[in-house]
């Protein structure tokens, strides 16, 4: 399938306070963010032209930067307003939203305290990835070789570009084997997450999910936990060892891109997407729709 390269698209990207034609949104090859991964980003999604949990994403965006020792020079309110302006400028409704911030080209060394902090926001069309029938077949996951790092070795609570290097490697390896994605273990060999989504399992009507201490406690993850509890489903956040996977009934992943997507296979382990997965797919689809304001 041919995909139009992202630097060849039309539209507008907001960058450092200016709404630019898409092709004019550029950075220098000696930008610190490119060489030293001093960059943070967000992955957000708009439904009906409105971003789901925009404020939560903007707050995490600013916190991610602070964890990398820089400050995004815009308030949460300003970021929320500009994201909506970018959606409107591009005349989009069902779309993905990508804010990104990075250190510029004023300094080229490990230390870059005086580098300018650049901020850009782009958006592009992205409808739902699967229909219900396709989703309920479940996707197949490999088990990644790389592991999520010890929280004492990396800023794991930051959505930092550098932390995704091993995710890209792991997803490429999985796709070469015919899998859709890969499940990653943590630094002690316990179940962690997928390369860009959190993971859940069910057993006897109870949902089990790994403790988010070496990976992001995703905004979608938090939403799914809330939705499950609304249904009266118990959610247990705990350490999960790989040898437990053989005993679980259902498995599903969640994230901005994946939304809620059931899993049928993780390496040698098999799962049957069923009632819990279906209920949470439906609940999440209803939750993300723009709420009508009272008259």
Q: Give the active site residues.
A: 159
Phi first, then psi, for residue 139 (nearest 5°) are -100, 165
Residue labelled with tokens 């630019």:
20
Q: Are 148 and 39 in contact (CB under 8 A)?
A: no
Strands (E), the chain: 12-15, 18-21, 39-41, 44-47, 50-51, 95-103, 117-125, 139-148, 181-186, 191-194, 198-203, 206-210, 235-238, 250-255, 259-266, 269-270
How far is Cα 180 from Cα 173, in angstroms, rounded to an integer?
10
Q: How many residues does the chain have?
A: 295
Of 166, 201, 211, 212, give the one whose Cα is nearest residue 280.
Answer: 201
Of 166, 170, 194, 189, give the one whose Cα is nearest residue 266.
Answer: 194
Residue 100, classed as helix, strand or coil, is strand
Return the bridge partners of 222, or none: none
User: Which tokens sit at 91?
Assistant: 């005349």
Residue 246, classed as helix, strand or coil, is helix
Residue labelled with tokens 């992943």:
253
Any residues with CB less than 8 A from the CB of 51 and at least 6 apart, and which?
A: 44, 45, 57, 80, 83, 84, 87, 97
């Amino acid at each position: 399938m041919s995909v139009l390269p992202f630097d060849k698209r039309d539209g507008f990207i907001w960058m450092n306070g200016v709404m630019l034609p898409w092709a004019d949104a550029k950075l220098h090859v000696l930008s610190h963010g490119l060489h030293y991964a001093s960059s943070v980003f967000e992955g957000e999604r708009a439904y009906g032209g409105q971003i789901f949990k925009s404020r939560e994403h903007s707050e995490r965006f600013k916190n991610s930067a602070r964890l990398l020792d820089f400050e995004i020079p815009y308030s949460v309110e300003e970021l929320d307003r500009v994201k909506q302006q970018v959606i409107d400028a591009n005349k989009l409704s069902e779309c993905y939203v990508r804010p990104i911030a990075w250190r510029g080209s004023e300094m080229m060394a490990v230390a870059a305290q005086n580098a300018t902090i650049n901020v850009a926001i782009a958006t592009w069309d992205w409808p739902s990835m699967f229909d219900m029938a396709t989703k309920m077949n479940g996707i197949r996951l490999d088990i990644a070789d790389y592991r999520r790092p010890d929280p004492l070795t990396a800023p794991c609570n930051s959505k930092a570009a550098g932390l995704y290097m091993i995710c890209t490697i792991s997803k490429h390896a999985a796709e070469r084997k015919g899998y859709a994605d890969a499940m990653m273990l943590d630094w002690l060999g316990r179940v962690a997450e997928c390369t860009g989504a959190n993971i859940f399992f069910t057993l006897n009507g109870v949902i089990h999910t790994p403790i988010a201490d070496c990976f992001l406690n995703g905004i979608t993850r938090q939403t799914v936990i809330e939705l499950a509890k609304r249904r009266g489903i118990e959610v247990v956040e705990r350490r999960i060892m790989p040898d437990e996977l053989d005993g679980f009934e259902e498995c599903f992943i969640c994230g901005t891109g994946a939304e809620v997507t059931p899993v049928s296979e993780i390496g040698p382990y098999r799962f049957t997407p069923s009632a819990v997965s279906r209920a949470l797919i439906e609940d999440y689809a209803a939750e993300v729709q723009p709420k009508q304001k009272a008259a």
